[in-house]
């Protein structure tokens, strides 16, 4: 369950970065997040 909460925190951070960053950075962070979830 610790891993699950960590994923939730990463997702929240990703959402904040998504709102603040331009689309190019958004794509990079999205790919990184996708790799982390695998």
3-state secondary structure of 22: coil
The pLDDT, as a whole number, for residue 33 is 80
Report, in angstroms and rounded to the nearest whole number, the Rg of the chain calculated over CA atoms. 10
What phi-psi label fits residue 36: left (phi over 0), alpha (psi between -120 and 50 degrees) or beta?
A: alpha
**Distance from C-alpha of 1 to C-alpha of 23, rounded to nearest angstrom:** 32
**Mean pLDDT by groups of 10 residues along the chain of 38 residues:** 77 78 77 79
Q: Rounded to the nearest 5°, which phi and psi values hold at 6?
A: -65, -40
**Distance from C-alpha of 4 to C-alpha of 12, rounded to nearest angstrom:** 12
Nearest to 12 by CA among 33, 27, 28: 33
The pLDDT, as a whole number, for residue 6 is 84
The pLDDT, as a whole number, for residue 37 is 78
The pLDDT, as a whole number, for residue 38 is 66
């Amino acid at each position: 369950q610790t891993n699950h909460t960590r994923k939730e925190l990463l997702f929240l951070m990703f959402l904040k970065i998504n709102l603040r960053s331009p689309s190019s950075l958004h794509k990079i962070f999205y790919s990184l997040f996708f790799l982390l979830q695998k």
